[in-house]
Structure 1
Amino acid sequence: MLAPASGSTRSLMSRTALSRARLSFGRPLLILGHSLVLAACASTEHRPQVDAELAALREELSQVSSALNETRTELARRDESARAGDSALAEHVATLRTDIAALPAAMAALCPAAPALPVAADCKREVEVRTVSVGGDKLVVGELERIVIDPPGGTLVARIDTGADSSSLHAEELVEFERDGKRWVRFNVRLDDGVATIERPIRRVAKVRSQDEAEPRKRPVVQLRIRLGSLRQTIDFTLADRSHMDNEVLLGRNFLTDAALVDVGQQFLQTTPRKGAPDAGANGRTGER
């Protein structure tokens, strides 16, 4: 067994333990202090960079705030302008409505309503009545009249000349031929509604001299039935070349004698005869001779 330690030994051991305890407690404090010193040093080294970043952020924030204020100001201005435009538009619409409401009265003042026309209970058809000039027993005709050549029943305008002895008709494409031992002629006549071909026996041959010919030419004479107004006659016509004349038919005294009187200051006094119209003359007697 070991002997108990002496007093000096115990004192030495106590001092040794105390030293160890102090050493173990002071080491962490030393490390902590060193760490704080190092952290302070590190924090001091990075502070300028942090301050610069903060300053940049503050500048950016200031710019954003300024832009936001400008945007708010612009929006407020536009809103005010829109409200002013809406107000002006509302006033314009109100003015238009007022003008439209007053338009019927203005139209009525400018264009008064026409008075109502009385409506006849019985509407009768009006019949055109034309007076036919008659001088005694003779028909009064104008210088120009529309006649009917029958056949073929077509109409054309004739000039009535009291100074001409005979009547003449413009004929084209004359062809003479023989039929049943008699001389005939075929010719074309220009009517109001076209060209008609007529064949008639030759009654005789007449000598006709035109203004541009020195010697007279022989032209066939045929009988044709014509109608003028209510008068119908069969008379001799000389088939001539009247292409240089204004009218293709000339009615002379062989038509006028005992049948009609001429008013040279008038034209178309007689109505155009209808096809199949009665042949009675102005005095009720037939006009054919």
Structure 2
Amino acid sequence: MKTFDQLGVIGLREWINLPELGMVGLRAKIDTGASTSCLHASDIQPFDRDGEPWVRFTAHIGTLVQRRHRCEAQLVSVKSIKSSNGHTQSRYVIRTLLTLGEREWPVEFTLTCRKTMRYRVLLGSKALVDGQLLVNPALTYVQNKPTLADLSGAQ
């Protein structure tokens, strides 16, 4: 059997940070069937900053006790996404740093309403490839839970 020493191992669910958005300790579900990652957002408003397209949105943190967190990020694109139920919707795409364990790298997220879903963040296959991660679906929360001190790139 081949081994892949350069790849980090993660479980089906992991704790992450989004330091550029000022968000720490988010539970993310790993979704290898999705190409793009997504983040639960509402009140999404596009705007221009210095001639560049940006977007403002409210991110929702937590499942039992929800906190709202207002964010701004540069808009990368608008993408048509086909959901698992077959519906296609247009979503804003942002790119922000993601911290998982000891790794940090830029990840593209689509912004969408996930209020009926258990996990507010899904990590898709592109994020896993870029982060050089291998998923063991028999495990959960393999990497350490991030802390406020881990917000190295926070604004």
Same fold (TM over 0.5): yes
Give the equivalent residue in structure 2 for 1:172.
42
Equivalent residue runs for 1:228-267 within 5 Å: 228-257=100-129, 259-267=132-140
Structure 1: 5+ residue stretches without partners: 1-134, 280-289
The structure 2 residue matched to 1:185, chosen from 47, 51, 55, is 55
Pick the structure with greater CA Rg: 1
1:277 to 1:209, Cα distance in 2 relative to 1, 3 A? closer
CA distance in 1 between partners of 2:84 and 2:40 (Å):
15
Contact 1:230 1:278 in 2 (8 A): no
CA distance in 1 between partners of 2:151 and 2:52 (Å):
33
1:212 CA displacement: 6.1
Equivalent residue runs for 1:1-289 within 5 Å: 136-151=5-20, 152-192=22-62, 194-210=67-83, 214=87, 216-257=88-129, 259-277=132-150
1:228 to 1:239, Cα distance in 2 relative to 1, 3 A? same
| Counterpart amino acid of residue 145 in structure 1 | E
User: Which digits, 9 at most, give the CA deviation of each residue in 1:14-63, with x for residues without a partner?
Assistant: xxxxxxxxxxxxxxxxxxxxxxxxxxxxxxxxxxxxxxxxxxxxxxxxxx
| Counterpart amino acid of residue 97 in structure 2 | R
User: Which digits, 9 at most, give the CA deviation of each residue in 1:207-259, with x for residues without a partner?
Assistant: 12346675x22111001111111111111101122223221111111111151
CA distance in 1 between partners of 2:143 and 2:133 (Å):
11
1:203 CA displacement: 0.7
Name the structure, 1 or 2, with higher relative contact order (CA <8 Å, separation 6+).
Answer: 2
Contact 1:230 1:273 in 2 (8 A): no
Structure 2: 5+ residue stretches without partners: none
Q: How many residues align?
A: 145
| Counterpart amino acid of residue 39 in structure 2 | L
* Secondary structure class of the residue paired with 2:127: helix
1:153 to 1:170, Cα distance in 2 relative to 1, 3 A? closer
Contact 1:148 1:156 in 2 (8 A): yes
Superposed CA RMSD in Å reads: 2.3
Contact 1:148 1:155 in 2 (8 A): yes
* Secondary structure class of the residue paired with 1:257: helix
Structure number having the greater strand percentage: 2
* Secondary structure class of the residue paired with 1:268: coil
Task: Indicate the percent of aligned positions where both proteins have the same amino acid.
Answer: 31
1:278 CA displacement: 9.6
Give the equivalent residue in structure 2 for 1:60.
none
| Counterpart amino acid of residue 163 in structure 1 | G
1:153 to 1:183, Cα distance in 2 relative to 1, 3 A? same
| Counterpart amino acid of residue 166 in structure 1 | T
Kindly report structure 1 stretches of 4+ aligned residues shifted beyond 4 Å.
211-214
* Secondary structure class of the residue paired with 2:148: coil
1:137 to 1:275, Cα distance in 2 relative to 1, 3 A? farther
User: Which digits, 9 at most, give the CA deviation of each residue in 1:186-210, with x for residues without a partner?
Assistant: 0011124722111011111101234
Give the equivalent residue in structure 2 for 1:36.
none
